[in-house]
Chains A and B, each alone.
Chain A
C-alpha cells in the first residue's frame, strides 16, 4: 500500500514544453506539499495546500501552477519548461498544516530532465 505516490517517476522533455506531475496520498491527510531537490540535493519547499487551499507559495516562477482537485491529490503543472527546472520533485503530505509537530510523509520523487 503506497502512502504517497507520484507519477511519473521519470520525465524527460524538451525545453518549452508543458508537463504535469501527479501526486496522490491515501493517508487521509489534510495537507500536501511540493518540494524541489536540485542537483546538489538541496531541498526547498515550493507549495503547500491544506484541504485544497493554497497556504504556502514560495518564490516560484508562475510557470509552476499547483492544482488540488481534492485533499488527496496535488498536481504540479509546469509551463514553458526551462533547463533550470531539471530536478527531482517530491510530493509530501501531513495530517495538518496548523501544527509544527506533524511528520511529513514523502513520495518517491519525480526526476524531471529538461533537454
Chain B
C-alpha cells in the first residue's frame, strides 16, 4: 500500500528565509504527487502537482517542488517565505487510476516576523 511520510511536524522560519518541507512516499511505480496548503479554518488548496516530465515543478504563491525518484522524495521549497505562508502543508500521493489520495500527516509552518 502506498504511504506518505512528512518527517517534520512543525517548522518555524523567519520571514524572508528559505523553506524546504520534506515528503517521502512509498510506492513501486511513479505516483502522482501533490502538495496542498491548509490555512487555519480553511479547506485545502492545491499548490502544485507532479505527474511526469520535468522533475522540478512550479506552483502557485512562489512554491516549487522537486521529484527525486532515487530518494522517493517530493520536497517543497520556497526561496523567501512570507508571513502569509504560515499554514499546514500536506503532501499527498495517488498511485494512479483511482484518484484515491493518501495524505501525509502534515507539517505546520510558523513564520516569525
Query: Could you list which residues of chain A lie within 8 angstroms of chain B, going by C-beta atoms?
Result: 4, 31, 33, 40-45, 48, 55-56, 90, 92, 94, 96-109
Which of A44, A97, A99, A100 has the most B CB atoms < 10 Å from its CB?
Answer: A100
Interface size bucket, B side? Answer: 20 to 34
Instruction: Please tell me if the beta carbons of A45 and B100 are within 8 angstroms of each other in the complex.
Output: yes
A-B residue pairs in contact (CB < 8 Å), sample of 8: A41-B38, A45-B101, A98-B97, A98-B98, A100-B98, A107-B43, A108-B42, A109-B43
**Interface membership of B5, Cβ < 8 A:** no
**Interface membership of B71, Cβ < 8 A:** no
Which residues on the A side are within 8 Å of B99 (C-beta)?
A: 31, 33, 48, 94, 96-100, 102, 104
Which B residues from 41 to 83 make CB contacts under 8 A with A? Answer: 41-46, 49, 51
**Interface membership of B95, Cβ < 8 A:** yes
Bound-state Cα–Cα, A107 to B105, Å: 19
Instruction: Please tell me if the beta carbons of B106 and A104 are within 8 angstroms of each other in the complex.
Output: no
Which of B32, B36, B51, B99 has the most A CB atoms < 10 Å from its CB?
Answer: B99
Which residues on the B side are within 8 Å of A56 (C-beta)?
A: 98, 100
Instruction: Please tell me if the beta carbons of A48 and B103 are within 8 angstroms of each other in the complex.
Output: no
Bound-state Cα–Cα, A45 to B99, Å: 10
